[in-house]
Amino acid sequence: MKDGPDLLVGLDLGTTKIAVVVAELDSRSGEAQIIGVGEAPSMGIRKGMIVNLDQATRSIQAAIEDAESMVGLGIDEVTVAFSGAEATSVRTKGMISLGRSARQVTMDDVDRIIEAAQSEIAVPVNRCILHTIPVEYTLDGHPGIDDPLDMTGVRLEVELQSIIVPSAVIQNVVNSVGKAGLEVSGLVMKPLASSLGCLSNEEAMAGVAVVDLGGGTTGVSVFSEGRPRRLSVIPVGGDHITNDLACVLRIPISRADALKKSVSLSPDGFGQNEKIEIESMGKTLSFSVREVVEVIACRLDELFSSLVVNELKESGISMMPGGVVLTGGVSRLAGLDAYVSRLLDMPVRVAGPIDANRMPPGMNSEEYSGGAGVIRYILEKERNPYRYIESDLPSEGAVSTLRNKRGARGGMSAGNGRKKAGDGTLKTVMENIRKSVKDLF
Ligand SMILES: Nc1ncnc2c1ncn2[C@@H]1O[C@H](COP(=O)(O)OP(=O)(O)O)[C@@H](O)[C@H]1O
Ligand SMILES: [Mg+2]
């Protein structure tokens, strides 16, 4: 691949499918053009967690091969979006003085203040920081500073949001991707990836919540002033609806899944007494469309009215003029937007990848927001390495993380930020993990 085009590859580890989105980077404009999408059914991943390493590895290999054959190029490096189930989010603040008289903020100051805010985090044993996201800078008491570099003042403050995940979850992701013969150049929590994939900048600025309805999990992200304020994962998804239908109606899972996709949650769907007949284990089972819709609605009521509402409250963001954006496979359920709008009493729309017109037909719908979002994540990180800081394991200490960021910004100006942005302590940790895997197999 060395003499070939500069590829950005996003690998979305879903519970239903593994999607691979390949983009070509135009190093002069810094823009990326999606050139192909590959996918394979996801095996060995349940509720967003890898439960069978070999199966997950084979699924990843199949998805990568699919993408490689579409773009006609080899893939050896990927940025991985994984569910981040069991992730917790911690807010900390840092403050530094810039001296007695006002002066311009330097990169060292930004490093120092992030270090100061990070030092407030008590990372529990066996957990590590996945993302550190500066939520807001305040200069001389004026909040809402987007990028403080080169601005003038005497006192700089920052509020950081850090996403903490079990170390073993990251290790399993890195191990399965490594065993598939790929290098991991970055990790991103899925709710962040899918929201970057489907949100416009205007929506993120105005305030909006994204609900990514996948197979085994539902990701929730709340944005305000262009920044993610809360990222979380609920271990309930479309597969639960399918299981509910299979249990209540006593039909096989495959029939339940097809039935789920065939009905509408519009008032018409609820009013339909039309009978459906299904043959199962030698018996003919009969029920109405209304019964099917009611089972689906029951699970959705629990998910949105209780679990999603709770996440929106926890975000502390009360103004969301952008309403709620639904994405992920389940958002394709007919009539879901109006139904959820009634449940939440908020404007709701369904959205697929904003780059959909650059993606192959049939592989550009709502399920692909996560994969497309990884590409946007890589680009945003390159443009501003202080926006999403991929952090390191706690034992490595904050200093090395900061060294990583300096290298990344330096690399950007040289026009090759992609390679440098990946040279972090997280990468070192991953290399160590990979080494230990090689020893094992
Ligand atoms: N048209 C549809 N109507 C309802 N549910 C759908 C539809 N298409 C896909 N789904 C459901 O969406 C889920 C998969 O979503 P996806 O975003 O691909 O999951 P993941 O990211 O977890 O792999 C499955 O539960 C699947 O049954
Ligand atoms: Mg998905």
3-state SS record for the chain: CCCCCCEEEEEEECCCEEEEEEEEECCCCCCEEEEEEEEEECCCEECCEECCHHHHHHHHHHHHHHHHHHHCCCCCEEEEEECCCCCEEEEEEEEEECCCCCEECCHHHHHHHHHHHHCCCCCCCCEEEEEEEEEEEEECCEEEECCCCCCEECEEEEEEEEEEEEHHHHHHHHHHHHHCCCEEEEEEEHHHHHHHHHCCHHHHHHCEEEEEECCCCEEEEEEECCEEEEEEEECCCHHHHHHHHHHHHCCCHHHHHHHHHHCECCHHHHCCCCEEEEEECCEEEEEEHHHHHHHHHHHHHHHHHHHHHHHHHHHCCCCCCCCEEEECHHHHCECHHHHHHHHHCCCEEECCCCCHHHCCCCCCCHHHHHHHHHHHHHHHHHHCCCCCEECCCHHHCHHHHHHHHHHHHHHHHCCCHHHHHCCCHHHHHHHHHHHHHHHHC
Q: Which ligand is nearest to the CA of 336?
A: 1
Indicate which atom in ligand 1 lies nearest the CA of residue 261: 3
Residues forming beta bridges with residue 97, ordered by sequence position: 155
The 10s digit of each residue's pLDDT in 220-270 is 999 998 999 999 999 999 999 999 999 999 999 999 999 999 999 988 767
Looking at CATH, the fold of the domain delimited by 7-85+167-235+305-388 is given as Nucleotidyltransferase; domain 5 (3.30.420)
Report whether residue 330 contacts ligand 1, using a CB cutoff of 6 Å.
yes
pLDDT of residue 193: 97
The 10s digit of each residue's pLDDT in 96-114 is 999 999 999 999 999 999 9
Contact assessment for residue 42 and residue 14, using Cβ atoms and an 8 Å cutoff: yes
CA nearest to 344, candidates 303, 383, 376: 303
Q: How far is the CA of 369 from the centre of ligand 2 (A)?
A: 7
Pairing of strands 348-350, 324-327: parallel
Q: Per-residue pLDDT for 360 more than 50?
A: yes
Q: How far is the CA of 421 from the centre of ligand 1 (A)?
A: 33
Report whether residue 219 contacts ligand 1, using a CB cutoff of 6 Å.
no
pLDDT of residue 17: 96
Average pLDDT over residues 160-187: 93
Confidence of residue 323 (pLDDT cuts 50, 70, 90): very high
Confidence of residue 379 (pLDDT cuts 50, 70, 90): very high
Report whether residue 332 contacts ligand 1, using a CB cutoff of 6 Å.
yes
Report whether residue 16 contacts ligand 1, using a CB cutoff of 6 Å.
yes
Q: Per-residue pLDDT for 424 more than 70?
A: no
Confidence of residue 416 (pLDDT cuts 50, 70, 90): very low
Name the residue ranges covered by the structural domains of the chain.
Answer: 7-85+167-235+305-388, 238-300
Q: Per-residue pLDDT for 2 more than 60?
A: no
Domain 238-300 CATH class label: alpha beta
Report whether residue 42 contacts ligand 1, using a CB cutoff of 6 Å.
yes
Average pLDDT over residues 277-288: 85
Beta-carbon neighbours within 5 Å of ion ligand 2? 14, 214, 328, 370
Could you tell me if residue 354 is left (phi over 0), alpha (psi between -120 and 50 degrees) or otherwise beta? alpha
pLDDT of residue 48: 84
pLDDT of residue 104: 97
Please count the residues of the chain.
441
Which residue's entry shows tokens 């309930």? 236
Q: How far is the CA of 213 from the centre of ligand 2 (A)?
A: 7
CATH topology identical between 7-85+167-235+305-388 and 238-300: no
Mutate to test the pocket of ligand 1, among 330, 336, 337, 368 (most ligand atoms within 8 A of CB): 330
Q: Whose CA is nearest to atom 6 of ligand 1?
A: 330
- Across the chain, mean pLDDT equals 86
Q: How far is the CA of 301 from the centre of ligand 1 (A)?
A: 18
Lowest-pLDDT range, 9-13, 67-71, 193-197, 432-436?
432-436
Report whether residue 404 contacts ligand 1, using a CB cutoff of 6 Å.
no
Q: Per-residue pLDDT for 30 more than 60?
A: yes
The 10s digit of each residue's pLDDT in 32-90 is 999 999 999 999 999 888 999 999 999 999 999 999 999 999 999 999 999 888 899 89
**What's the distance, CA 272 to chain centroid?**
37
Report whether residue 336 contacts ligand 1, using a CB cutoff of 6 Å.
no
Q: Which residues of 356-377 are buried (b: 16+ CB within 10 A; e: fewer)?
A: bebbeeebbbbbbbbbbbbbbb
Q: How far is the CA of 131 from the centre of ligand 1 (A)?
A: 27
Amino acid at 14: G
The 10s digit of each residue's pLDDT in 186-208 is 999 999 999 999 999 999 999 99
Straight-line distance from the first to the last Cα atom of the chain, in angstroms, rounded to the nearest whole number: 27
Indicate which atom in ligand 1 lies nearest the CA of residue 48: 22
Bigger pLDDT: 167 or 401?
A: 167
Q: Which ligand is nearest to the CA of 194?
A: 2
Q: Whose CA is nearest to atom 9 of ligand 1?
A: 329
Q: Per-residue pLDDT for 378 more than 90?
A: yes
Confidence of residue 3 (pLDDT cuts 50, 70, 90): low
Amino acid at 221: S
CA distance 423 to 406: 11
